[in-house]
Amino acid sequence: MLRGSERKEALASLSQATTRYEQQAKDTQNVITELFVLRQKCSTDLITRGEHFINRLANTPKEFDKSWSELKAEIAEFDDVVEKLEEEYRASHVGKGTAAAGVAVGAGVAAFAPTAALAVATTFGTASTGTAIATLSGAAATNAALAWLGGGALAAGGGGMSAGSALLALAGPVGWGIGAVGIAGGTLLARRKNGKIIEQAQAEEREVRSQTSKLHIVQRSADELKSLTSEHYHGTESIVDVLEKTAPRDFTQFNAGQREQLGALINHINALSKLINKKIQ
C-alpha cells in the first residue's frame, strides 16, 4: 500500500498547524511590543508629569518621596538597558539590511524590527547562558538579545523556558530539527517512502503544536502584565491630573479627599515600580 492519501492528510494537517503557529507567534510578538511601548511611556510621560507635580508641591509626605524615588530607580534601570541595546543595535546595523542583522526567523514570521527586538530583550529575564539581561552591557546585551531571536544559542537549543523554548518558538522552526517548511513542501523528503514521511510529518506537527501552546502561555502572561501596567499607569496619570488642577500647593493644606487621592497615587506608583522591569519567566 502506498498510503498516498495518508501522506496527503499528514502534510495538510502539518501545514494547518504551522499556520496556527505563525499566527500565534505574530500575536505574541504584538503583545510583547505593546508592553514595551507602554513601559517606554512610563519612562517618559509619567516621569515628566510626576516631576512637575512634585516640583509644585511643598511638604510632600515621606511615603510619597520614597515611592517616587523607587519608581525612578526602576525606570532608570529600564532606560539603561534600552539605551545600551539601542546603541549596539545601531552600531551593528550601520549600512546593513535586516537580513544581515543576524535576526533569523522562520516559518513565515516577519523579521523582528528594532522595537520588537527591544521588546523581547526587556520582556524576558534570562539570556541563554542564564545571565539576567539587565546585568549585561553593551555588545554582550545585544548579542544575547539577538541570539534569542533565532540564531546562536537558540538554534543550538540553549536556554531555559524563557530564553529557549518560548523565544525559539517566537523565532520560528529554525533549529527545531526536521523543519516544518521542508516537510510541508516535500522538497527534502520527496524520494522517501510515504510511511516515513507520514511519521516525520506527525512528529513535526506535535512539535509545532507544543511551541504554539508555549507561545499562547507567553502571550497570556504578557497580556496580564500589560493590563496591570496600563491600570497603574493610567491610575497615576489621572490622579496627578486631578491633583494638579484642584489641590493646594502645600500638602499640609490638603483636605481629606485629596489626602486619600494621594494615598491612591502612592499605591499606583508602588505597583508600577514592581512592574516596570518585571520579566516573563
The SS3 of residue 191 is coil
Residue 250 forms beta bridges with which residues?
58
**What is the rounded end-to-end Cα distance, in angstroms, of the chain?**
48
Question: pLDDT for 161-216, tens place per residue?
Answer: 343 444 555 655 543 444 444 444 444 445 457 778 888 888 888 888 887 888 88
Query: In the chain, what's the furthest Cα-to-Cα distance?
Result: 90
Question: pLDDT for 36-51, tens place per residue?
Answer: 999 999 998 888 888 8
Residue 56 has pLDDT above 60, yes or no: yes
Q: Do the beta carbons of residue 126 and residue 162 sit within 8 Å?
A: yes
Residue 231 CA to residue 237 CA, distance in Å, equals 10
pLDDT of residue 26: 83
Q: Do the beta carbons of residue 28 and residue 215 sit within 8 Å?
A: yes
Question: pLDDT for 125-161, tens place per residue?
Answer: 555 444 554 445 545 544 555 554 433 333 333 333 3
> Predicted confidence band at 1 (pLDDT cuts at 50, 70, 90)?
low
Among candidate residues 243, 237, 234, the one with its CA nearest the CA of residue 261: 243
pLDDT of residue 184: 47
Question: pLDDT for 3-20, tens place per residue?
Answer: 778 888 888 898 888 888
pLDDT of residue 256: 95
Backbone angles phi, psi at 250, to 5 degrees: -120, 125
Stretch 57-85: mean pLDDT = 88
Stretch 51-80: mean pLDDT = 90
Residue 200 CA to residue 259 CA, distance in Å, equals 66
Measured in whole angstroms, how far is the alpha carbon of residue 67 from the centre of its chain?
26
Residue 123 CA to residue 219 CA, distance in Å, equals 11
Over the range 118-131, which residues count as b (16 or more CB within 10 Å of their CB) and which as e?
bbbbbbbbbbbeee
Q: Tell the residue number behind the cell numbers 491610575, with chain if given.
A: 235
Distance (Å) of CA 66 to CA 34, 61, 187, 271 = 29, 9, 63, 13
| DSSP state for residue 165 in the 8-state scheme | I
The model's pTM is 0.75
